[in-house]
Amino acid sequence: MDAPDVLAHSIAAPALLAPRGEVLVRRLLEQLGEDPQREGLVNTPHRVWESLSQLTSGYDQDVMDVIGDAVFSESYNEMVVVRDIEFYSLCEHHMLPFFGTCHVAYIPDGRILGLSKLPRMVDLFSHRLQVQERLTTQIAEALEEAIGPRGVGVVIEASHLCMMMRGVEKQSSRTTTSAMRGLFQTDPRTRSEFLNLINGS
Ligand code: ZN
């Protein structure tokens, strides 16, 4: 019940030299009624902390780290679409995974982006505690800022374990979010071309 006391107690525990995150995971295991010393759990705090650090590694980078010098001058002015970018993120309300596919499109205005950078941008923002709505918007805004295109469209379809495993337990429901900027917002033909392309027609 008393958080500061709980912390002081766990820091005095055998794992004195363990990173603070590992100490907290060990304490969490105790709170769940587990014995962190039993064989199967002895290295679990270390593994959980490593895994959580990796899944939230997007805090340590910004978009320019990812894009680097992969912006190219090019007169191509049709739609560029990268569909079915797989992603895994953690919902910020339960710290449970949500995952699915992200479709990103843009219409260049003199500059294009190396294609491999789009999945890396998706990773950058999904490796943070997120809500799907913000993830969608951040990808669209980052692309807009990076190359100033005539329009950007981002659609994310995801399954949320916090809905599937607990709460309403709707295993088959998927959530779709979209962010449209520029021509994707103002021109219905552009938007429907994008939506047709990602729906495979
Ligand atoms: Zn959640």
Residue 169: is its pLDDT beyond 80? no
Residue 9: is its pLDDT beyond 50? no
Delineate the domains of the chain, giving CATH numbers in brackets: 3-55 (no CATH), 63-198 (3.30.1130.10)
What is the C-alpha to C-alpha distance for residues 59 and 169, in angstroms, rounded to an integer?
A: 30
Going from the Cα of 164 to the center of ligand 1, the distance in angstroms, rounded, reads: 10
pLDDT classification of 3: cutoffs 50, 70, 90: very low
Coil, strand or helix at 19: coil
Residue 87: is its pLDDT beyond 60? yes
Going from the Cα of 55 to the center of ligand 1, the distance in angstroms, rounded, reads: 16
Coil, strand or helix at 105: strand
Burial of 21 from C-beta contacts in 10 A (0-12 / 13-18 / 19+) = middle
Catalytic residues, which ones? 91-94, 132, 160, 162
Residue 15: is its pLDDT beyond 70? no
- Which of the pair, 25 or 164, is modelled with greater confidence? 25
Residue 10: its pLDDT value, please? 47
Residue 17: its pLDDT value, please? 66
Going from the Cα of 159 to the center of ligand 1, the distance in angstroms, rounded, reads: 10
- Please provide the average confidence, as pLDDT, over all residues in the chain: 90
Instruction: State the average pLDDT over residues 178-198.
Output: 96
- Which of the pair, 183 or 3, is modelled with greater confidence? 183
What is the C-alpha to C-alpha distance for residues 165 and 67, in angstroms, rounded to an integer?
A: 36
pTM: 0.87
